[in-house]
Chain A
Amino acid sequence: MFLDQFVNAIGTGVMLGSIYAALALGLAVTFGLLHIPNIAHPAFVIAGAYVVAVGNAYGLDPLLVAVIALVPFYVAGLAFYEFYARLFERRGSADTMNALTLFFGVSLVVETALLIKFGTNQQSVSVAYVGQSLNIGLLSLPYRLLVPAMLAPVMVLILWLYLRYTHSGIAIRAVAHDERALSVSGIDPRWIKRHAFGIAAATAVVAGAALIIIGPVDPFGGRLMIGRAFAVVVLAGMGSLPGTIAAGILIGVSESLVSAFASPSWAPAVAFSILLATLALRPEGLFGARR
């Protein structure tokens, strides 16, 4: 019994952690790399989930819908950043408080728009593998969690390779460090930030697909994930993409073990306890560079 519980708690924790990383990935780009606290990202994830639900209603697989919707979400991200930049950055008033206020407002607008368009009913998708599990010895992995969990490593790998080996990817990493130096190199920092926001928004639709495969969503579901998503990004070390997945898994496994062997009621406190302990001992996060 103990071994069964332990093995499955680890397995479930890894899957949950990977899903947390998928949800936090866009935030790792906007907040971790650009230092713009985009608290509207979870609302974008929910919007992505709704788009996936609409596509699924026409018989399309949720993941296929997410891939199709990458480009529209990327464009929406570009427009979103342009809106933010025109409001604040061009006027030189892009401080954290203004950004938080704007993004909070945007998330309310997204929620209300979804409510008006789709009503109050929860949205869900129909996929054949929900309700079945992959059994390997003692380990039982529900496909409902396994399939979404596999998205995060794929997204992180693609994004990591892009940021490390492409010109525009390196520019994204550079823009947060020294915007002026980037300008001197002949690169428009605003274009780079806009592009980064587009990428972050595109990850939201994939995360939305992951979320709606796990269970039904409603327009207000984003509020529930803000805290955990920020915890993952900060714990990872503000912008470290492999760190995001490691931090997500650390939180997921800890929560799962607490849930299995102590009380599920304590599980949500785990993420923030780990975060506090890490910040006390290592303020730059688990994988953040010392500055």
Chain B
Amino acid sequence: MDVSRRKFGKLAGLASLAVAAPAIWTSGRAQSRPIRIGGSFSMTGPLSATKAGLVGLQIWRDDVNAKGGLLGRQVELVTYDDQSSVAQIPSIYSKLVDIDKVDILLSPYGAVLSAPVMPFIKQRNRFMAGMFTLASNDGVKSERFFQACPWGPDGKVNWARGFFDIAKASGCKRIAVLNADVEFAKVSAAGGKAAIQEMGLELVFEQSYPPNNSDFSAILRNLRATTPDAVFICSYPPDSTALIRGLSEVGIGDSVKLFGGGMVGPQYAANLQALGAALNGIVNFNLFVPEPTMTNAAVNSFLTRYRAIAVPEKLDALGFYIPPSYYVAGEMIAAAVDGSGSTESAAMATWLHANPVRTRVGTATFNDLGDWTERRVLMTQFQGVKGNDVDQFLQAGRQVILNPPALKSGDLIQPFMKARGA
């Protein structure tokens, strides 16, 4: 067959168009399809109280989409129930990446559930926002992982540093450490012991106990016998409640000036309501409390919207602890996507490493491990709590911020028994 030059040119043009068409079509479609953010949530199982975080993320999604989305694309959440089980995590995240083709990942809740997904994101070079994942990136050192919570640099050692700063400033020298035998509590206790050593304090008691321990009388008696000045506790909700009740039943001794630090539980409305005035005097961590030094119109608006959803759904009625961090995760993602002009993991990560992000709870900058360069974990003291009305915790003055100094809203009442009104 004779092919003229003109005919050859036409055929070559048509062939090029045929080859390029799918790419043009896909590219156009990609520009219009939603940005998909995927992650697992503990909708059932022992960690199901953390699903309040999804409400925070949904509020952020609604806000972003109302403003036209990111890069002109709507944001879509792809979530699965991990049943609070580590075993579910690898398959969920493989599905999110390989089948659902999500653009951006959000970690499961906490260090334990996130552990299996960390090597995965490193291997796949994926961007991920870490949700309450203390020190999760210390092992794999992914440069595309960013903490949504302000644990600070070297969070493993330093996240509860504020407790020890207060202890030292109050003249405490003899420190006791008590922790549950679970990952978060063990890591926190190890960090506490490192801080004690670094500050030249004396560790006079250290003890771990099995999770869900319901009676602390023997432990508290042993602890009291060592006459500590401060007691650093790393516990989970059921044991936090039993411990606080044990304080009233057995006592802790007059030597103690400071008690608490890393107790999970007194952040949630149900625990606050159950314990009521028994909380007075305890110094414990939180990520947000409605103190004048911290609250602002944007956070108040967020919490009002959260509560309108959470209360009918029987989620945490206050929403101070978990939901704001999920909103912050959304703000970080939005800043990275808008700033880099891309949903590519590498571009987003590079932008976040180089730029600060303004969030509802303050400005975040990140170090090489994706930790906030400035620790913003609050150490607050319960003061003036009366009865079991949960609404009193919406008022300023019930959880007074003692540390960090920039957010300080009141002074420590000590010794501990005086602060408890004993």
Contacts and interface: CB of A to CB of B under 8 A. Distances in A.
A133 interface: yes
**A144, A219, A259: most-surrounded residue (chain B CB, <10 A):** A259
Contacts of A142: 217, 245-246, 249-250
Contact of B208 (A5, A133, A140, A263): A263
Given A112-B44, A120-B51, A133-B249, A264 B314 contact: no
B217 A12 contact: yes
B405 interface: no
B316 interface: yes
Interface in B187-240: 207-210, 212-215, 217-219, 221-222, 225, 237-238
Interface residues of A, number: 43
A208 to B, nearest CB: 14
A131 B277 CA distance: 11
Interface stretch (A65-73, A84-92, A93-101, A121-129): A121-129
Interface string B16-53: 00000000000000000000000000001110110110
B391 to A, nearest CB: 15
Interface string B49-60: 101100000000
B242 A256 contact: no
Contacts of B74: none
Contacts of A263: 207-208
A111 B48 CA distance: 12
A132 B278 CA distance: 12
A159 interface: no
A256 B218 contact: yes
A132 B249 contact: yes
Contacts of B212: 221, 224
Given A120-B48, A265-B181, A5 B249 contact: no
A215 B275 CA distance: 10
**B207, B245, B315: most-surrounded residue (chain A CB, <10 A):** B245
A192 interface: no
B2 interface: no
B241 interface: yes
A158 B358 CA distance: 66
A267 B209 CA distance: 9
B293 interface: no
**A4, A133, A215, A224: most-surrounded residue (chain B CB, <10 A):** A215
Contacts of A265: 181, 208-210
A47 B115 CA distance: 33
A8 B222 CA distance: 12
Interface stretch (B120-128, B266-274, B347-355, B395-403): B266-274
Contacts of B317: 121
A113 to B, nearest CB: 12
Given A131-B278, A215-B245, A264-B209, A220 B217 contact: no
Contact of A119 (B218, B241, B314): B314
Nearest to A252: B215
Contacts of A12: 215, 217-218
B388 interface: yes
A223 B217 CA distance: 24
B375 to A, nearest CB: 29
A122 B46 CA distance: 10
B244 to A, nearest CB: 9
A218 B268 CA distance: 13
Nearest to A1: B225
A49 to B, nearest CB: 13
B315 A216 contact: no
B52 to A, nearest CB: 8
A214 interface: yes
Contacts of A220: 45-46, 48
Nearest to A4: B221
A8 B217 contact: yes
Contacts of B51: 120
**A260, A263, A264: most-surrounded residue (chain B CB, <10 A):** A264
A137 B362 CA distance: 55
B296 interface: no
A118 interface: yes
A36 interface: no
A169 interface: no
Contacts of B268: 121-122
Given A140-B249, A144-B249, A215 B222 contact: no
Given A5-B218, A124-B270, A264 B210 contact: yes
Contacts of A259: 209, 218-219
Nearest to B52: A120
B234 to A, nearest CB: 14
Given A120-B48, A265-B208, A9 B218 contact: yes
B9 to A, nearest CB: 68
Nearest to B273: A124
Given A131-B278, A140-B250, A265-B181, A120 B314 contact: yes
A5 B238 contact: no
B304 interface: no
Contacts of B214: 16, 214-215
A263 B49 CA distance: 30
Given A216-B274, A260-B222, 5 more contacts: A121-B270, A124-B273, A145-B215, A215-B238, A216-B237
Interface of A: 1, 4-5, 8-9, 12, 16, 111-112, 115, 118-124, 126, 130-133, 140, 142, 144-145, 214-216, 218-221, 223-224, 256, 259-260, 263-265, 267-268
Interface of B: 44-46, 48-49, 51-52, 181, 207-210, 212-215, 217-219, 221-222, 225, 237-238, 241-242, 245-246, 248-250, 268-271, 273-274, 278, 313-317, 388
Q: Which 3 A-B pairs have the closest CB atoms?
A: A119-B314, A260-B218, A131-B248
14 contacts: A8-B218, A16-B215, A115-B44, A118-B314, A121-B269, A121-B314, A122-B49, A133-B249, A215-B242, A216-B270, A219-B48, A221-B212, A264-B210, A265-B208
